[in-house]
């Protein structure tokens, strides 16, 4: 599903984001279909996170599996459970998908023990996506905290693959400690090949770290932001995106040009079980991508 940026004409009625689809018409597609997939590659990114490359086994099914940046899958570890995970690879790639998984509990711990060749189940893709086409012609600000770089990597691939459609692209990334940084092996390529300005910061430096230390909002001091022509995607813990979005909003970026991805515990992924509800909103089908204005209007969302 695509996400529409509302027009900016305040006099045009109605000035609102997409109205809720209470009947969930057309939302559920291939939801019960479980794609059988095989792990073809595993990269240990940090002591807590691994990157899994998964290939859908059936050739025809592999070709019909399409997703957009920001969407997620339900990954089934047979005999252990099913977990929602953001797709972190390029939406242009029809050969495989990649998932960056943090060891959190029962299912993700079991997944971390899997080796190449292990077979898993995939449902999806599910949820709303970042409005990448609507951001064309704008400066793009991608801000991630910690594991938030996982859902942000798909939009990074998107802007890199359509680089001429965007003006300045900045990635701002902060972690608690330097050894928690994800995808460090790609930073040089993002900067030199894809013309993306990358700024990093850690809360607590190690002996080897010679970069910036502090909170992620301090990175904004190093750049000038053209507020009326900038769109932002912010992924990370709620406390982080709350501060970042508040800061950006004070700079003048409209709240419906800032996008966040909300995480809630999920069970079905398709608007049936109510596990992920915030008020009357289903995080799995109305989200996980919301504009910041909608998030502020969702009681108890952050």
Ligand X SMILES: Cc1cc2nc3c(=O)[nH]c(=O)nc-3n(C[C@H](O)[C@H](O)[C@H](O)COP(=O)(O)OP(=O)(O)OC[C@H]3O[C@@H](n4cnc5c(N)ncnc54)[C@H](O)[C@@H]3O)c2cc1C
For binding to ligand X (CB under 6 A), which residues are involved? Answer: 72, 81, 83-86, 100-102, 104-108, 147, 150-151, 263-266, 288
Q: Is residue 39 classed as helix, strand or coil in its secondary structure?
A: strand
Strands 139-145 and 230-235: parallel
Please check whether residue 125 is in contact with residue 83, taking contact to mean a CB–CB distance below 8 angstroms. Answer: no
**Sheet order of strands, 119-126 included:** 81-86, 72-77, 119-126, 35-44, 49-56, 97-102
CB of 192 to ligand X, least distance (A): 26
Rounded to whole angstroms, the Cα distance separating 220 from 88 reads 25
According to DSSP, residue 159 is labeled H
Interface pattern 270-289 for ligand FES (x via CB under 6 A)? -xxxxxx-----x-x-----
CB of 299 to ligand X, least distance (A): 19
* Residue 263 interacts with which of ligand FES, ligand X, none, CB < 5 to 8 Å by class: ligand X
CB closer to ligand X out of 101 and 132: 101
Site for ligand FES in 228-267 (CB under 6 A): 266-267
According to the binding rule CB under 6 A, does residue 29 interact with ligand FES?
Answer: no
CB of 31 to ligand FES, least distance (A): 10
CB closer to ligand X out of 107 and 297: 107
CB closer to ligand FES out of 134 and 275: 275
According to the binding rule CB under 6 A, does residue 1 interact with ligand FES?
Answer: no
Residues 266-270: contacts with CB within 8 Å, 24+ apart? 266/74, 266/84, 268/31, 269/31, 269/72, 269/74, 269/84, 269/123, 269/124, 269/126, 269/127, 270/27, 270/28, 270/31, 270/126
Binding residues for ligand FES, rule: CB under 6 A, are: 266-269, 271-276, 282, 284
């Amino acid at each position: 599903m695509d996400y529409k940026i509302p027009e900016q004409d305040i006099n045009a009625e109605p000035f609102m984001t997409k109205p809720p689809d209470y009947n969930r018409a057309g939302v559920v597609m291939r939801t019960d279909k479980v794609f059988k997939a095989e792990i073809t590659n595993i990269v240990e990114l940090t002591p807590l996170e691994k990157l899994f490359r998964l290939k859908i086994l059936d050739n025809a099914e592999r070709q019909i599996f399409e997703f957009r940046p920001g969407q997620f899958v339900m990954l089934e570890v047979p005999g252990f459970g099913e977990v929602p995970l953001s797709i972190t690879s390029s939406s242009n790639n029809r050969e495989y998908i990649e998932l960056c998984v943090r060891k959190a509990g029962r299912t993700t711990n079991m997944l971390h023990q899997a080796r190449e060749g292990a077979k898993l189940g995939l449902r999806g893709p599910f949820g709303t996506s970042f409005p990448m086409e609507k951001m064309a012609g704008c400066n793009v600000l991608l801000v991630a905290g910690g594991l938030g770089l996982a859902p942000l990597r798909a939009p990074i691939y998107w802007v890199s693959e359509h680089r001429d459609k965007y003006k300045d692209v900045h990635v701002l990334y902060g972690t608690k400690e330097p050894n928690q940084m994800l995808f460090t092996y790609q930073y040089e390529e993002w900067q030199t090949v894809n013309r993306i300005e990358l700024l990093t910061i850690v809360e607590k430096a190690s002996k080897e770290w010679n970069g910036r230390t502090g909170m992620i909002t301090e990175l904004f001091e190093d750049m000038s932001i053209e507020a009326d022509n900038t769109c932002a995607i912010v992924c990370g813990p709620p406390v982080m995106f709350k501060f970042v979005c508040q800061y950006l909003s004070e700079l003048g970026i409209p709240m419906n040009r800032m996008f966040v991805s909300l995480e809630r515990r999920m069970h079905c992924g398709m608007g049936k079980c109510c596990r992920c509800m915030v008020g009357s909103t289903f995080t799995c089908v109305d989200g996980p991508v919301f504009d910041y204005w909608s998030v502020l209007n969702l009681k108890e969302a952050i």
